[in-house]
Amino acid sequence: MSAPEGGLPADGRPQYDWETIERSPEFRELVSRKRAFIVPGTIFFLAWYLGFIVLAGYAPDFMGSEFLVDGLTVGYVLALSQFLMTFVLGWMYLRKADRVFDPLAERAVASAEGREHAAAETAAPEPARQPQPSGRVLPQ
Amino acid sequence: MTLLASVNETALVVFAVVVGITMVITYLASKRVSTATDFWAAGRSLTGPQNGFAIAGDYMSAASFLGIAGLIYLFGFDGFLYSVGFLVAFLTVLFLLAERMRNSGKYTIADVLTFRLKQKPARSAAALGTLAVVAFYLIAQMVGAGVLIEALVGIDFSLAVVLTGAFMVVYIIAGGMLATSWVQIIKAFMLMSAAVVMTVWVMTKTSANPVDLFKDARGQSAEGQKYLEPGLFFATPLDTVSLGLGLVLGTAGLPHILMRFFTVPNAKAARSSVMWAIGLIGAFYLMTTFLGFGARAILGRAGEEAAGTGGNLALPNLADELGGDLFLAIIAGVAFATILAVVAGLVISASGAVAHDIWSNVVRAGRDSEREEVWVAKIAAVSIGAIAIAIAVIGGAGLNVSFMVGLAFAVAASANFPALLLALTWRRFNTTGAIVGVLTGVFSSVFLVIISPKVWPGADSEGGLFGFYDLSQPGIISIPLGFLGCWLGTVLTTEPAAERKFDELYVRSETGLGAEVATGLKG
């Protein structure tokens, strides 16, 4: 295995043992936590949006009906709910990314670099990982 | 209340101020741009908020500012459907692409696609996808610019197109992405300020309560309650759904928007820039309620003819009604800045496809210097600008702007978005899949638009070229076809090298390990 800083290959990309990192428990946890947010989040916003569009196309009478007061339509209220959804889901993603995904990504990178150095210097098997100072990476 | 046929001097002065500000920015930027990373990605030196403003400036074209308000003025609720689609689309960008693009790309979307696929064929396909989107979008914007400037300032259509094209080329060749970004940031600031001022003005004239505004607007429309319901603009329900699908997925395939993620130092800044953009764009589209319905309440039925086809002049007319000549000139100046910022973003992404993708990586196979690449980019920007000017002048004001913007979004959603998403997330995806997918996406959307009723108007061809096909928005067919092409091309072939390299792309796109670093700028 080559050291990570051991010169760049022809395509100019830095080299790591990508396959080992990809299989590491830290990376697996990162992608599964991300997937657990992004997949349901995407399904939800696409469904809510496409539901709105389908109603606008096929149920104009329903969309034009009065909502609570004269002048306000169901369609406009549903359109506003799309704005609200975009702000809220965007904000939730940012919060989750700052608090959960970023620390997990850092941990995956740190342990990968730890492994590389250990392998290059001592050819020892995987060293014990440094305990992480931040408790925020733990599932909430 | 009439828009001057002769030259409007106040508007001319405002336009000169707008051009003056952008030229100063370009001059300052030109002294700091030296490397290829400076030219394409502004040295990756932009902060999240700066890039958020620039995304908003890149995204909200005159179609957003004048077009949506005009559609609401003419057709009520249906105009608002565009606003919703344009905004929700940023969740697609945020969840699926923004950070991954930043971590795995360099200058263009083709860099992401070719990370693990075969350079020449995959890059050529990606460049085709980029150029197709930019071509339709750019010509639409240029024609829109010409029509607007002719109506608002009184400058002849052809001269207006030539001037717009000339300014955008100067920003790019002198200041690259740095100048383009700051032109977009300033434009976003001007656009938001103008929208806030106008919204407050409309509120004082009518009511701060939107429900009262809706009632006023309904009272001023011949359609009555129908004005507040969907269906006045989109007559075919399937078209509404098809357009919605194209909007919500198309933004995540627009090369000039995706390219903006290469201008920030890291993934965290990329996602915060999307959130800033969501805030700005969302607030802006909420204000279009007051602008569009307000125009209806204030201008009434009498203003319909003066608003022109598509209602593009409803907002300038409203400005004239509210604040007279000076305010009209300011709104016209903001619309002009809006167009300049968008076309500059489009042309720099197209010059990336020509210089970085086709010239540097396909023709020269990476043997050229950075200097050469930037020079080719500048030549490409001038050429693309010249071609766009020529098509817009020859096609003239008669080109249908809205169908070309719809087509741009459909191509982006059907060709670029599936290929990028699958390259980043599906291990098995390969070069053949990318090529088949992009080609299917581009040609199916173009073909469906060519046979659509929008292109073949008139009684004889009521249902388009083929009677049974009456969709004018291709997304609902072309997007699944794009994904299908990607899948089919992939499963029919194997490419072990692409699968082996997936680990590298996957780890890099999710963690940022090995991603391009910020180089900063001189001075």
ipTM of the complex: 0.91
Identity of the residue numbered B101: M
Q: Find the domain containing B252 and state its range.
A: 9-511
Inside any domain, residue B249: yes
Q: Is the pLDDT of residue B133 over 70?
A: yes
Among the listed residues B79, B420, B75, the one whose alpha carbon sits nearest the alpha carbon of residue B250? B420
The tally of CA atoms less than 13 A away on the side-chain side of residue A119 is: 14
- Rounded Cα distance, B414 and B396, in Å: 28
> Within a domain: residue B19?
yes
Residue B427 lies in a domain: yes
> Is B522 within a domain?
no
Q: How many C-beta atoms lie closer than 10 Å to residue B154's C-beta?
A: 17
In a domain, B3, yes or no: no
Residue B113, SS3 per DSSP: helix
Q: Which among A45, A61, A94 is the nearest to B275, CB-wise?
A: A94
Q: What is the length of chain A? A: 140
Per the model's pLDDT, the better-predicted residue between B465 and B503 turns out to be B503
Residue B326 lies inside a defined structural domain of this protein = yes
Q: Do B90 and A93 touch (CB under 8 A)?
A: no
Among A41, A73, A90, beta carbon nearest to B275: A90
Q: Which residue's entry shows tokens 């489009």?
A: B346
The residue-averaged pLDDT of B235-250 equals: 90
C-alpha B82/C-alpha B233 separation (Å) is 11
- The neighbouring-strand residues paired with A69 are A67
Lookup result for tokens 């024609």: B143
Q: What pLDDT was estimated at residue B429?
A: 96
Interval B299-308 mean pLDDT: 84
HEC profile of chain A: CCCCCCCCCCCCCCCCCHHHHHHCHHHHHHHHHHHHHHHHHHHHHHHHHHHHHHHHHHCHHHHCCEECEEEEEHHHHHHHHHHHHHHHHHHHHHHHHHHHHHHHHHHHHHHHHHHHHHHHHHCCCCCCCCCCCCHHHCCC
Domain assignment present for residue B519? The answer is no
Per-residue pLDDT tens digits for B357-389: 999 899 988 888 888 999 999 999 999 999 999
Chain B residues inside the 8 Å CB shell of A34:
510
State the smallest CA–CA distance between residue B219 and chain A in angstroms: 10
How many structural domains is chain B composed of? Answer: 1
**Which chain B residues are within 8 Å of A50, Cβ to Cβ?**
241, 244-245, 248
Stated as kind and residue range, the H or E segment containing B92 is helix B77-92
B518 located within any domain: no
DSSP string spanning B255-314? Answer: HHHHGGGGGSSSHHHHHHHHHHHHHHHHHHHHHHHHHHHHHHHHHTGGGTTTT-GGGTTH
Residue type present at position B300 = G
Q: Is the dihedral of CA A36, A39, A40, A41 positive or negative?
A: positive
- State the average pLDDT over residues B430-435: 96
pLDDT at residue B302 greater than cutoff 80: yes
Determine the pLDDT at residue A126.
45
Return the CATH number at B477.
Answer: 1.20.1730.10
> What was the pLDDT predicted at A118?
65
The alpha-carbon gap from A29 to the nearest alpha carbon of chain B, in Å, equals 12
Per-residue pLDDT of chain A (140 residues; tens, 9 = 90+): 333 433 444 456 667 889 889 999 999 999 999 999 999 999 999 999 999 999 999 998 899 888 888 888 999 999 999 999 999 999 999 999 999 999 999 999 888 777 766 665 554 444 444 444 443 333 33
Minimal-distance CA residue of chain B relative to A17: B504
B278 inside 8 A of chain A by CB: yes
Q: What pLDDT was estimated at residue A137?
A: 38
pLDDT (0 to 100) of residue A120: 59
Q: How far apart are CA B139 and CA B401, in angstroms?
A: 8
Question: What is the mean pLDDT of the segment spanning B80-104?
Answer: 95
Mean predicted confidence (pLDDT) in B327-338: 90
Longest CA–CA span in chain B (Å) reads 68
- Report chain B's mean pLDDT, rounded to a whole number: 89
Tell me whether residues B215 and A71 touch, CB distance under 8 A.
yes
